Amino acid sequence: MEIGAWLKNKGDTIRKDEPVVALESEKATVELPAPESGTLAEILKKKGEVAAVGQVIGLLEPGPAGPGQKAAEKKPAERAADVPAASGAGTERIMPAARRVLAEQGLRPEEVQATGPGGRLLKEDVLRHQVSQPAPPAAAPPASSPPTAPPKLEPVATPGMPAPAETRGAPTQAGSREEEVVPMSRLRRTIAERLVQAQHTAALLTTFNEVDMSSVLALRKEFGESFLQRYQVKLGFMSFFVKACVDALKLYPSLNAEVRETNIVYHNYFDIGVAVGSGKGLVVPVIRNAELLSFAEIEMTIGDFSRRARENKLKPEELHGGTFTISNGGVYGSMLSTPIVNPPQSGVLGMHAMQDRPVARDGAVVIRPMMYLALTYDHRIVDGREAVSFLKHVRDVLENPARMLIEI
Quote the pLDDT of residue 86. Answer: 36
312 pLDDT more than 70: yes
Quote the pLDDT of residue 230. Answer: 95
For residues 58 and 191, state if they share a domain. Answer: no
**Is 163 part of any domain?**
no
**Is 43 part of any domain?**
yes
Quote the pLDDT of residue 407. Answer: 62
**Is 79 part of any domain?**
no
* Nearest one of 81, 39, 55 to 2, comparing CA atoms: 55
- Of 62, 84, 102, the one marking the end of a domain is 62
Quote the pLDDT of residue 205. Answer: 96
pLDDT digits (tens, 9 = 90+) for 318-353: 988 899 999 999 988 999 999 999 999 999 999 999
- Of 62, 84, 101, the one marking the end of a domain is 62
170-185 mean pLDDT: 74
For residues 221 and 367, state if they share a domain. Answer: yes
**Is 311 part of any domain?**
yes
pLDDT digits (tens, 9 = 90+) for 71-87: 334 333 333 333 333 33
CA 77 to CA 48: how far, in whole Å? 9
Quote the pLDDT of residue 118. Answer: 64
DSSP 8-state class, residue 50: B
**Is 348 part of any domain?**
yes
CA 339 to CA 198: how far, in whole Å? 11
**Is 135 part of any domain?**
no
Active site residue 125: no
102-129 mean pLDDT: 77
For residues 347 and 201, state if they share a domain. Answer: yes
**Is 117 part of any domain?**
no
CA 326 to CA 284: how far, in whole Å? 9
Q: Which range among 70-74, 108-112, 144-148, 154-158 shows the weakest confidence by mean pLDDT?
A: 70-74
Average pLDDT, the chain: 81
Cβ pair 308, 160 in contact under 8 A: no
**Which of helix, strand or coil describes residue 359?**
strand
What's the CATH code of the domain at 297?
3.30.559.10
Cβ pair 78, 47 in contact under 8 A: yes
Q: If residue 246 lies in a helix (H) or strand (E), which one and from where to where? A: helix 238-251
**Is 373 part of any domain?**
yes
What's the CATH code of the domain at 48?
2.40.50.100
**Domains: count for the chain:** 2
- Of 39, 62, 85, the one marking the end of a domain is 62
Active site residue 267: no
Range of the domain at 226: 186-406
Confidence of residue 408 (pLDDT cuts 50, 70, 90): low
pTM over 0.85: no
CA 210 to CA 228: how far, in whole Å? 28
For residues 58 and 195, state if they share a domain. Answer: no
CA 6 to CA 11: how far, in whole Å? 13
pLDDT digits (tens, 9 = 90+) for 229-275: 999 999 999 999 999 999 999 999 999 999 999 999 999 999 999 99
* Nearest one of 392, 394, 384 to 203, comparing CA atoms: 384
Residue 121: burial class (beta carbons within 10 Å; 0-12, 13-18, 19+): buried
